[in-house]
Structure 1
Amino acid sequence: MTLDDLNDEITESYSSLGDELDVTLDRETRNELALLETAMEPESTDELVRRAIHMLFQTTVETGNIDFHLRSGFDVTYDEYLSGMTFDEMTGADNYPSMDDERRYQF
């Protein structure tokens, strides 16, 4: 897969999410969320979920885990996604002419 495939899948996923998301909570998650809500007193539980997503995203980027998953699935990194170009495109490595092995060492 490529950078274009990644952009297409992100756009599709973004469109399908909408503004609201129903989440099924298991017992452990419900307990942790109740504790966080009691301790932090947000305006709504939704705010805690938004913060949790931001924190997970930030941690995933900082640890390089997002790069691992993007490289595995799309053969790009997060930096390449942000720039809209692969490393080879940035450095011009994909612009070299093909080598002709018969004439390679002729001057």
Structure 2
Amino acid sequence: MTLDDLSDDVQESYKNLGDELDVSLDRETRHELAMLTALYDPDDVDELVRRAVHTLFQSALDRGQLDFHLRQGYDVTYDEYLSGMTYEEMTGQTQAPPRDDVRRYQM
């Protein structure tokens, strides 16, 4: 898969998510959310869920897990996704003429 495939998949997922998300909670998640709600006393529990998504994303990015999975699935990194081009495209390696190894050492 490529950078274009990743961009298409992200856009498709973004469309499918919509503005609201119903999430079922298991017992452990409900307990942890209740603890965080008591601790932070947010105006709305949705705010804690938004913070949790941001924290999970940042953690995956900081620990290299995001790039690891992106490289496995799409052969790109998050920086490449943000810039809209691969490192090869940035450095001009995709425009270099192919090497002729047969004639390379002939004089």
Instruction: Tell me which interval the TM-score lies in, with the shorter structure as reference length.
Output: over 0.9
Offset of 1:54 from its aligned partner?
0.5
Runs of at least 5 residues in structure 2 that lack an aligned partner in the other structure? none
Matched, 1:50 2:50: yes
Q: Counterpart of 1:18 in structure 2: which amino acid?
A: G
Give the superposition deviation at 1:98: 1.3
Q: Following superposition of structure 1 onto structure 2, how do residues 1-107 of structure 1 map, counting pairs within 5 Å?
A: 1-106=1-106
Q: CA deviation at 1:53?
A: 0.4
Percent identity over the alignment?
Answer: 64
TM-score, normalization by structure 2: 0.95
- Take 2:75 and 2:61, find their aligned partners in 1: how far apart are those partners? 16
Deviation >3 Å, runs of 4+: none
Partner AA of 2:46 in structure 1: D
2:11 match: secondary structure:
helix
3-state SS of 1:22 partner: coil
**How far off its partner does 1:6 sit?**
0.2
Structure 1 gaps of 5+ residues are none
SS in structure 2 of the partner of residue 55 of structure 1: helix
